[in-house]
Amino acid sequence: MSRLIVVSNRTPGKGPAAGGLAIALRKTLAEREGFWFGWSGRLVDQPDREARFEDIDGLSVAQIDLTRDDHHDYYAGFSNSILWPSFHLRLDLATIEAHWYEGYRRVNVQFARALLPLLKPDDVIWVHDYHLMPLASELRNLGARNRIGFYLHIPFPTSDALYAIPHHNDLMRDLSRYDLVGMQAKRDVAAFTEFADHQSPSSLSGNPLKSVDFSRTEVDSFPIGSDPDAFARLSVSPAATKMVKRMERVLREQKLILGVDRLDYSKGLPQRVEAYEKLLANNSRFRRQVHMLQVAPPSRDTIKEYQETSDALDAMCGRVMGRFAEPDWQPLTYVKRAYGQPSLAGLYRLAKVALVTPLRDGMNLVAHEYVGSQNPADPGVLVLSRFAGAAEIFDGAIEVNPFDTDETAEALRIALDMPLDERIDRWTRLMHAAREHNVDAWAARFLERLAPATTAGSGTRDILYLASVA
């Protein structure tokens, strides 16, 4: 079997919590030969050209350092102030500084130059996420002939939002140099197809751009999942049980409503708290009977829009506390820090309702983890945004429009009042879907399409590229 080279911005176990991606891929890579390649988490004045290998929990990880300026332009700048808001249809929150694109490309060139000497001809390369869209182009420009796949963990934007991104045609041409492009959901593939079918020039100046030729690139949806059975085990582990006991002492008879999200404007956190406020306002019988816990570890907090989201959430939580709290009852707890998986699994198991209500989300693995952690004899209810990729597979959830806080408040009421037999029926369907789409199935499906066992290795693809790039 050919080696697998996973490439992502963050590598596992380094820097701030690597999140769902690292967790998902650690397992796949542990099962076959290869290594993980990415940024070390270190900023230096003069990065080495060569990557350093390190063994991290049995995984071989090759890493490069970046300069502070390049990292800023590539990560906080182009990736997270332009691509992230645009791909999440929040152009109002995008900041466009043209020079960031140069830093973004520079870092992709640096990745390609450091990775190329490490490659064998039949290695299969799997590139992850929006930070690294140009990587296949840069590798192919240096002569790489390998099969290269790309997986987008965030939603693909509508054509209008895409056109607002500087150099969007270059980026789409970069995507056309992958053998396989994977997206989370069918709606993302539909948006991509819409763009591919109706491309228009990207610039007012210069030569009219030729449309991008996607005829050599396969594009399909591969919904990512978690490991629901591992969460089922974790949710009854001693560490999880400790958390459950701690919470039960405080909650007593109150039902727990839980949200777990990075502190990101795409997660719809102020809207979620407003929906909870409406639940309490419209249904006084729930006061003292419920408690909302929002876990929201800070994220990308050097970026102004993230600081503003944090401030907006502080204000919303303060408002609900001021309106409903009593000396001996608090309606909500808001925790701005990250918890480990065992503690989270305990919280998931205890929660009667999970509020997973992003305004737009690639998949949302919290939904999967919540489902996996439930007690089959007394499961909780998943309230899920119809704008999360997870909505395409989880028909057992109560689906809501997260912009409509009245609707979310009503969904909360229905969830809290739901009889046991309906909860079991819905959860059984959810767990079936979570298992069917678990992380192993996801990786296996993608890799089988990228490099079927019989055809792995270099092919004629590079000749076609030269023709299409000229």
Q: Catalogue the active-site residues.
A: 153, 361
Q: CB within 8 A of 274, min separation 6: which ones? A: 316, 405
Min CB(204)–ligand F6P separation in Å: 32
Candidate list 5, 6, 7, 10; residue touching ligand F6P; CB under 6 A: 10
Candidate list 153, 177, 267, 291; residue touching ligand F6P; CB under 6 A: 153
String of contacts with ligand F6P for each residue 95-134, x by CB under 6 A: ----------------------------------x-----
Contact set for ligand F6P, span 283-342 (CB under 6 A): 299-300
By C-beta, is 75 or 286 nearer to ligand F6P?
75
Contact set for ligand F6P, span 154-193 (CB under 6 A): 154
Min CB(22)–ligand F6P separation in Å: 8
Find the farthest-apart pair of alpha carbons in the chain and give their distance in angstroms, rounded.
73
Cα Rg of the chain, angstroms: 23
Candidate list 19, 166, 297, 342; residue touching ligand F6P; CB under 6 A: 19
Cα of 2 vs its chain's centroid, Å: 27
Stretch that binds ligand F6P, among 18-26, 102-110, 246-254, 405-413 (CB under 6 A): 18-26
Number of residues located near ligand F6P, criterion CB under 6 A: 10
Q: Is 25 helix (H, G, I), strand (E, B) or coil?
A: helix
Phi, psi (deg, nearest 5) at residue 185: -135, 165
Is residue 26 close enough to count as binding ligand F6P by CB under 6 A? no
Stretch that binds ligand F6P, among 15-23, 135-143, 284-292, 431-439 (CB under 6 A): 15-23
Per the CB < 8 A criterion, the answer to whether 194 and 159 are in contact is yes
> Among residues 390, 334, 338, 402, which one has the least CA distance to residue 366?
390
Min CB(183)–ligand F6P separation in Å: 13
By C-beta, is 154 or 260 nearer to ligand F6P?
154
Give me the DSSP letters along 362-413.
S--HHHHHHHHTS-TTS--EEEEETTBGGGGT-TTSEEE-TT-HHHHHHHHH
Q: Is 272 helix (H, G, I), strand (E, B) or coil?
A: helix
Separation in Å, CA 333 to CA 119, 163, 247 = 49, 41, 12
Contact set for ligand F6P, span 370-389 (CB under 6 A): none
Q: Which residue is nearest to ligand F6P (CB)?
A: 19
Per the CB < 8 A criterion, the answer to whether 53 and 40 are in contact is no
Stretch that binds ligand F6P, among 19-27, 89-97, 310-318, 455-463 (CB under 6 A): 19-27
DSSP state of 351: -
Min CB(80)–ligand F6P separation in Å: 6
Is residue 20 close enough to count as binding ligand F6P by CB under 6 A? yes
Stretch that binds ligand F6P, among 13-21, 158-166, 168-176, 244-252 (CB under 6 A): 13-21
CA within 13 Å, CB half, 348: 32
Q: CB within 8 A of 151, min separation 6: which ones? A: 126, 127, 128, 129, 181, 182, 183, 222, 446
Binding site for ligand F6P (CB under 6 A): 10, 19-21, 129, 153-154, 299-300, 362
